[in-house]
């Protein structure tokens, strides 16, 4: 090993040690500051404020879920209509125009998927506000039942929308294979992609993994602080830790498996 390589290796250890030291110091300072600032009265006020906010959301839970469902359905239908129009133009386009229409199709589909996922997440969050025995027992069983019905309608529409989205793409690109209701759909879809499309998928997947690897430790610190100061319970900590473990192990397992396939 050259001196330059040894120096670079030593600098890497120093940088890592410095990062760990700064993180520990920052965590300690943050803990002390929060311990000093968040007195018992302040913690109690925050908890009371949170309880009032949750109560307010519970009162408007049904109309909020209804609005989310309506927006999801309207946008979903408009998005599919636009995708069909792009698909027709894609079939009629010359070679030099195909790339532009394929980009438009990808962009429109991405917007549709984001809104679709966002509606599901919002519905889950809103429903979770009233999803408790205490709320149901306090003469709110009817409201909870109505909220669950609206939630199921929205969730069912979002699920069927994803199937319809795949079918719309397959109308303009018959070479795309895969049954969206099948557990092997992603692999079937990937196998039907050309090399350029696979490269985009692989690079996007790695970007997603990198961003997730950065966010999970931050979320873990947040839920740990939440449990320390607000007694939110360890379930959130366990869930985030398990997600971190699954993401990392699945990535490393895939790397080892792909390397092993090259030796065969």
Q: Residue 132: what pLDDT?
A: 64
> Environment class of residue 138 by beta-carbon count within 10 Å: exposed (0-12), middle (13-18) or buried (19+)?
exposed
pLDDT tier, 138 (very low <50, low <70, confident <90, very high otherwise): low
229-262 tens-digit pLDDT: 777 788 889 999 999 999 999 988 988 888 888 7
pLDDT (mean) for 115-136: 83
pLDDT at 76 over 80: yes
d(CA 86, CA 107): 11
d(CA 243, CA 235): 12
Q: Residue 167: what pLDDT?
A: 92
Q: Residue 149: what pLDDT?
A: 92
> Environment class of residue 189 by beta-carbon count within 10 Å: exposed (0-12), middle (13-18) or buried (19+)?
buried
Element (H, E) at 139: none
Torsion sign, CA atoms 89, 94, 100, 103: positive
pLDDT at 44 over 80: no
d(CA 199, CA 187): 15
Most confident of 3-12, 39-48, 49-58: 49-58
pLDDT tier, 158 (very low <50, low <70, confident <90, very high otherwise): very high
d(CA 16, CA 248): 20
pLDDT (mean) for 97-106: 87
pLDDT tier, 27 (very low <50, low <70, confident <90, very high otherwise): low
Q: Residue 242: what pLDDT?
A: 94
Instruction: Give the tokens for residue 41.
Output: 């009265």
Instruction: Give the tokens for residue 207.
Output: 């970007």
Q: Residue 264: what pLDDT?
A: 67
Asked if residue 82 lies in contact with residue 108, where contact means CB atoms within 8 angstroms, the answer is: yes
Categorise residue 194: left if φ over 0, alpha if ψ from -120 to 50, beta otherwise.
beta
Q: Residue 207: what pLDDT?
A: 92
Start-to-end CA span in the chain (Å): 32
Which residues, 6 or more positions from 112, have their beta carbon under 8 angstroms from its beta carbon?
A: 75, 76, 79, 80, 83, 161, 165
Instruction: Give the tokens for residue 239.
Output: 């869930």
pLDDT tier, 99 (very low <50, low <70, confident <90, very high otherwise): confident
How many other C-beta atoms can be found within 10 angstroms of the C-beta atom of residue 126?
Answer: 21
d(CA 194, CA 203): 14
Which residues, 6 or more positions from 241, have their beta carbon under 8 angstroms from its beta carbon?
A: 220
Q: How does the average pLDDT of the chain come out, rounded?
A: 82
pLDDT (mean) for 136-162: 86
Who has greater pLDDT, 262 or 179? 179
d(CA 143, CA 227): 30
d(CA 135, CA 84): 44
pLDDT at 31 over 80: no
pTM of the model: 0.75
């Amino acid at each position: 090993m050259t001196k330059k390589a040894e120096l670079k290796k030593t600098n890497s250890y120093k940088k890592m040690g410095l990062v760990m030291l700064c993180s520990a110091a920052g965590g300690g300072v943050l803990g002390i500051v929060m311990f000093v600032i968040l007195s018992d009265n302040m913690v109690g006020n925050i908890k009371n404020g949170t309880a009032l906010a949750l109560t307010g959301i519970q009162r408007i839970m049904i109309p909020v879920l209804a609005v989310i469902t309506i927006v999801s359905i309207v946008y979903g239908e408009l998005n599919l209509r636009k995708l069909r129009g792009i698909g027709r133009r894609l079939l009629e386009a010359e070679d030099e125009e195909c790339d532009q229409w394929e980009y438009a199709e990808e962009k429109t589909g991405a917007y549709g998927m984001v809104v679709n996922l966002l509606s599901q997440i919002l519905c889950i969050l809103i429903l979770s506000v009233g999803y408790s025995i205490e709320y149901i027992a306090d003469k709110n069983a009817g409201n909870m039942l109505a909220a669950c019905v609206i939630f199921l309608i929205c969730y069912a529409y979002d699920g069927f929308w994803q199937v319809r989205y795949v079918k719309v793409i397959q109308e303009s690109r018959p070479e795309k294979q895969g049954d969206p209701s099948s557990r092997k759909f992603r692999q079937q879809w990937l196998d039907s992609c050309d090399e350029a499309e696979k490269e985009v998928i692989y690079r996007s997947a790695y970007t997603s993994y990198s961003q997730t690897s950065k966010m999970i430790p931050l979320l873990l610190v947040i839920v740990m602080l939440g449990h320390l100061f607000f007694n939110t319970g360890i379930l959130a900590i366990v869930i985030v830790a398990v997600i971190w473990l699954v993401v990392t192990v699945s990535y490393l397992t895939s790397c080892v498996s792909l390397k092993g396939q090259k030796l065969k």
